[in-house]
Amino acid sequence: MDENEWRYHGEGNKSLVVSHVQLSIVLRLLKYPAEDSENPPQTVEQAFRQVQNIVDFSSNVMSCLLGDKFVHSGEVVKLPLEFVRQLSIKVQHQRPAWRCDKVMDIYSGCALCLPNLTSPTLHQPTHTPTLCIEIKPKCGFLPYSKHVSQDIKTKVCRFCMHQHYKVAMGTWKRRSRYCPLDLFSGNRQRMHFAIRQLIDEPQNNLKIFKGGRCIFSSMDGIEDSMDLNSLLHHLRPYFQYGNNRMNSHMTSKALLTDFIQGVSLSGDKWLCQESLDLQHGPSARVLDPWPQSGHLLLKVVVNALLSSQGSPSDSVLYRVRQTQMLDTLDIEGLYPLYRRVEQHLLDFPKERTRLQMDGPYNEAFLEKLHKCPSEDDGSLEYAVSKVHQYRVAMTAKDSQIMVALVPSCEEEEDDEGLPGQRQHRDFLSSRPPAFSYSVSILDLDPKPFDNIPRQLRLDQNIVSCYLRSSCALPKGALPSHSGIFTAAEREDCTLLFHPV
């Protein structure tokens, strides 16, 4: 409990995260509006219950839907208040200015302790820092509900429409060409294209960590943080081998191609693979060989990415998408059911506990999700079940996928020769290095019941903004995009669309 042993790691809208400088753990602490800094908005008991709800929702609900091998729920811890106060002072100057409208909870001492997914403890010791790719994929399907009032919602994905709204509101200066439908498609060209667009315009959907420190991100809209040359400098030692290593030369395009394919291959091993045990790492899978630079082995890598080494339902992206699709009615169809529940709670306030609108998130809550009738029978129970399903789906839509890559130790060599000779052979060899990897899902907090009206307003604003901006654009026009890929490079990937 020495604040000097912790460093600022990041923060979202509701919590701030610090990581330990030596141990592979993080502490996630609650935040509340700065105007409440003198008078905390909740008691210690309420703060403890809020953090415990996050743990229960993750372990008892999301873990069952997404797979416990991908989910790390953590545990609630009580911290000395003086330690929390000193920690708050230490990290304050490292926080982005626009996040400082909220302050860290220094009154309850409650925090969530989790493994540091950007720097997992694997079974093999290595001197090379872990590379970790954090992707926020967003919603991977188009709404299919009969309640959708605007036909455009069934043709253009929510993320792409939201980009127009964010630019209009000044959140971002330009739109991202990343599309979740590409990433979730399973088509090798579309998935490759999606990752390229994330690097080109990461916004808050892509971060890259090295040894637990962020080396590439949008930093909440600060473009200077997107330093491609710095990223290439960090990545080069991981992907140089054979003739490229001997010549100490590797083109930026080849290096980025290697990196993108590496993310794709391990990440689908997002699409069909198990995660490593972050605490014990009993049997880490090894990716060997790593894809060579150039587009020739791109085909080999993406074929491996799309190959099934088990049931497709074991893949991370499949499970995330299936959980997202618990939103069967769309917000437009759900809102009348929300109103039904809201009116009942106004008439009978004590029913909020029985209906588990704020937890507890246990087996009974999960049972409500599974036993929802297929058709609306006008009952309160149907409305409550659909509201719960929507809340779970929204959690999956806002979740993040972490792919951690660790270069494996070269212990498989035979016993002939000295270590220096083995190193020399590897230096001259064209065989790429092997990597161990772990895949995890995080940001699995329960979404508040009372947030549903805001979701409806946001949906309406996004659709109307998109309709206005798309009508203003000439037919076939594309947004101007200055990024790390040239126009020719953008055109070398043909998108294929297949009926589902």
120 vs 422 pLDDT, higher one: 120
Q: What is the pLDDT of residue 164?
A: 95
The pLDDT of 350-372, averaged and rounded, is: 93
Helix (H, G, I), strand (E, B) or coil at 419: helix
Structural Rg of the chain based on CA atoms: 24
Q: What is the pLDDT of residues 283-303, one digit of tens each?
A: 334 433 323 322 322 332 233
- Token pair, residue 349, equals 């306030």
Q: What is the pLDDT of residues 146-199, one digit of tens each?
A: 999 999 999 999 999 999 999 999 989 899 999 999 988 877 778 778 877 888
Please report the sign of the dihedral spanned by the C-alpha atoms of residue 304, residue 309, residue 311, residue 314.
negative
Q: How many Å apart are CA 203 and CA 152, to the nearest integer?
A: 24
Q: What is the pLDDT of residue 265?
A: 57
Q: Where do we find the tokens 């995080």?
A: 442
| Alpha helix ranges (H) inside 7-121 | 44-57, 63-66, 81-92
The separation between CA 58 and the C-alpha centre of its own chain, rounded to angstroms, equals 15
| Alpha helix ranges (H) inside 201-295 | 228-239, 242-246, 252-267
DSSP count for the chain of H helices, then E strands: 18, 12
Judge whether 217 and 225 are in contact, CB under 8 Å: yes
User: Within 10 A of 472 (CB to CB), how many other CB atoms are there?
Assistant: 8
- Which amino acid is located at 128 in the chain? T
Q: What is the pLDDT of residue 122?
A: 54
Q: What is the pLDDT of residues 77-129, one digit of tens each?
A: 999 999 999 999 999 988 888 888 899 999 999 999 999 988 876 545 557 78
- Token pair, residue 59, equals 């372990």
User: Within 10 A of 291 (CB to CB), how many other CB atoms are there?
Assistant: 24
DSSP output for 421-439: HHHHHHHH--PPPPEEEEE
Give domain limits for the chain. Answer: 3-115, 117-500
User: Within 10 A of 96 (CB to CB), how many other CB atoms are there?
Assistant: 12
User: Within 10 A of 258 (CB to CB), how many other CB atoms are there?
Assistant: 27
Q: If you average pLDDT over every residue of the chain, what do you get?
A: 77
Residue 357 has pLDDT above 60, yes or no: yes
Q: What is the pLDDT of residue 316?
A: 81
Judge whether 329 and 390 are in contact, CB under 8 Å: yes
Lowest mean pLDDT among 168-172, 345-349, 383-387: 168-172
pTM: 0.81
Q: What is the pLDDT of residues 229-245, one digit of tens each?
A: 777 777 777 766 544 44
The pLDDT of 362-378, averaged and rounded, is: 91
Q: What is the pLDDT of residues 264-285, one digit of tens each?
A: 655 444 343 333 333 333 333 4
DSSP output for 45-72: HHHHHHHHHHHHHIIIIIHHHH-TTTB-
- For residue 289, whether the previous peptide bond is cis, meaning omega lies within 30 degrees of 0, is yes
Count CA atoms within 13 Å of residue 154 on its CB side.
9
Q: How confident is the model at residue 428 (pLDDT cuts 50, 70, 90)?
A: very low
Q: Where do we find the tokens 């409650």?
A: 110
Which residues neighbour 35 within 8 Å (Cβ) at sequence distance 6 or greater? Answer: none
Q: What is the pLDDT of residue 125?
A: 54
Q: Where do we find the tokens 């587009």?
A: 295
Helix (H, G, I), strand (E, B) or coil at 442: strand
Q: How much helix, strand and coil, in percent to the nearest 5, is found in the chain?
A: 45, 15, 40
Q: What is the pLDDT of residues 444-483, one digit of tens each?
A: 999 999 999 999 999 999 999 999 987 755 554 444 433 4
Percent over 90 (pLDDT), the chain: 44
Judge whether 271 and 318 are in contact, CB under 8 Å: yes
Q: How many Å apart are CA 410 and CA 396, to the nearest integer?
A: 38
Options 3.40.50.80, 3.30.1490.20, 3.30.429.10, 3.30.200.110; CATH of 3-115: 3.30.200.110
Q: How many Å apart are CA 260 and CA 293, to the nearest integer?
A: 10
Q: How many Å apart are CA 356 and CA 351, to the nearest integer?
A: 8
Residue 206 has pLDDT above 80, yes or no: yes
